[in-house]
Amino acid sequence: MSDTLVPRELVDFLLFDWLALDKTLMRPEFAELDVGSMRALLDLADRLARDTFLPCYKLADQHEPTLSAAGDVHVPAQTGAALRAYVEAGFLAAPFAPEHGGLGLPEQVQLAATASFMAANLAVSGYAMLTVANARLLVAHATPAQIAAFVAPQLDGRAFGTMCLSEPQAGSSLADVRSRAVHERDDPLGGRYRLHGNKMWISGGDQDITPNIHHLVLAKIPGADGSLPQGTRGLSLFVVPKVLPDGQRNDVVVAGLNHKMGYRGTSNCLLNLGEGTRYTPDGHPGAVGYLIGAPGQGLAIMFHMMNEARLGVGMGAAAVAMRAQALSVDYARTRVQGRLAGSAAPVPIAAHADVARQLTRQAALARAALSIVLFCGALVDERDTAPTPQARTEADALLGLLTPAAKTWASEWGLEVNAIAIQIHGGYGYTRDFDVEQLYRDQRLNPIHEGTTGIQGIDFIGRKILKEQGAGLAPLGRRISATLTQAAGAGLAKEGKELGAAWEHFLSVVKALPDMTQAHWLGLATELLDGFGHVLAGWCLLDQAVLAQQLGRRKDDPSRVLAAHFCASMLPQAHRAFDMVAKPQVPLIDFTTTEGWP
């Protein structure tokens, strides 16, 4: 079994050459950091991921979390040991400012380091990813007292964090949330409320790794007549700890575990809030929660965590794709089968043209996915630390535009990389003896996590393009134009022409969107987002090929081949997607009636 995770040489090229991390580190916000320390941190992440996360990859899958008769969730001891090593090495606190005990890492470095752990063990990494996002939301929106009570314990490993949005009857339709929060009294930690309701699909909802868990819960505050406000504007956000600051067990009960196809190492729970059957803080039923921000601002605040989690899901997808591709190359180089024309001896299957095609496709897709997410990380750094307000505003607009693509394109096409890995391994790939089987199952959840592909497509058109009038398109267009100009001088004029045509095709569809009916684009939103993701991926690969040429990288550097392969084989799919959106309504069967069935 290969222990290749995310190739360090590639990460170094993307961070230090393509994204010019050294220039970012020159800003005052990163005065205590330098290139050498960042390389050392990435080395440590790679080594720790191999030593602690990778060894329990299959174990965490084969021994899922269990629910005891007492209602507690138990995970394998090795999972807890791996995460404690992660915390003790400082990775949980590293992205936070020094005043919170962190290093103030640039986001692109944080994502790159996280990639190693996700490639080694995606499910176990989920606990850490959610905790970082939870604590970051609190740092941005909570009071100083709340930060002291709920952030510090997370960063030193005494508590992990979750996000509690979905409910059994509501799913992703947060407007239909029924959990209610009734004001109890004022408290040094802010407004203290009693919550009642049910939350579904809560990753990390319970575990025995940390003594406490801090849940971020969306609920509605009833009006004077007891009715719940309608829509998402009525949602408020609360931090609901498993164990209260005074040591009492809160009224949060695990009603059941969800048994998933993949990500089995991450406990996934149905939580009952305010059940009153096992725990009653101060002798009263109702889960105690503390209001974060103002009433009715819950969804706007929660988007802070949701958007970060979407980049995290995208990085997980890219990391798992990277590992699957590395395993495919290892297998194809060592599996001897078949002969080439005129050859008497069998050859490694990597020598066969069809296998080489699949491996090249894998490499292009995985690298593009990694590049898109790291580029978004660089935009986070630009948004937060760029020297001018204009640069920060522009970076924020571009980041907003790209986030749906970073999550969705990496997830959907990362899954294709994993599917190819099974194909290359043949029958062996379909067995549990090889990691590619589990990697595929883990990857399959990513197109659903943190907003399904369909939801991301609707957000991309409805919010990013129409409502926000494509605010990030102009800065992206300038980057693409610069790449096209340079491509011609780097011997990549053909690829530049193909990318330019796809970009113009996309812009023509965007221009026509306001004249389309909502019913039309709702049914084709995922097509447009997918096509846009192809253009974005093609730009990343072509821009890197141009840079590799300018840097005079070694002759076997794959950047040029990957860009050419992607432009020739994948960009035509973008045109197909754009054509579909531009055409009249695609006929659909009405499956709500029996008459609609074929």
CA 535, CA 571: separation in Å to the nearest integer? 7
User: Does 304 score more than 80 pLDDT?
Assistant: yes
- Which structure tokens are listed for 481? 């134009």
CATH number of this structure's domain 8-155: 1.10.540.10
* Mean of per-residue pLDDT scores for the chain: 95
User: Does 478 score more than 50 pLDDT?
Assistant: yes
User: Do residues 492 and 498 touch, judged by C-beta distance below 8 A?
Assistant: no
pTM of the predicted protein model: 0.96
Q: Write the burial class of residue 334 (CB in 10 Å: 0-12 exposed, 13-18 middle, 19+ buried).
A: exposed
CA 202, CA 214: separation in Å to the nearest integer? 12
pLDDT in tens, 217-266: 999 999 999 999 999 889 999 999 999 999 999 999 999 999 999 999 99
Amino acid letter at 541?
L
User: Does 2 score more than 60 pLDDT?
Assistant: no
User: Does 596 score more than 70 pLDDT?
Assistant: no
Buried b / exposed e across 569-597, counting CB within 10 Å, b at 16+?
ebbeebbebbeebeeeeeeeeeeeeeeee
Q: At what angle do helices 77-88 and 122-141 cross, to 10 degrees?
A: 50
Span 160-297 CATH architecture: Beta Barrel (2.40)
Mean pLDDT of all residues in 354-376: 98
- Non-local (6+) Cβ contacts of 595 within 8 A are none
Q: What is the CA radius of gyration of the chain?
A: 24
Mean pLDDT of all residues in 477-500: 96
User: Does 1 score more than 50 pLDDT?
Assistant: no
pLDDT in tens, 167-178: 999 888 888 999
User: Does 341 score more than 90 pLDDT?
Assistant: no
pLDDT score, position 554: 78
Mean pLDDT of all residues in 459-464: 94
pLDDT in tens, 398-419: 999 999 999 999 999 999 999 9
CA 293, CA 300: separation in Å to the nearest integer? 10
User: Does 127 score more than 50 pLDDT?
Assistant: yes
pLDDT score, position 555: 76
User: Do residues 68 and 133 touch, judged by C-beta distance below 8 A?
Assistant: no
User: Do residues 288 and 193 touch, judged by C-beta distance below 8 A?
Assistant: yes
Q: Choose among 186, 264, 247, 312: nearest CA to 437.
A: 264
CA 304, CA 29: separation in Å to the nearest integer? 21
pLDDT score, position 377: 98
Confidence of residue 598 (pLDDT cuts 50, 70, 90): low
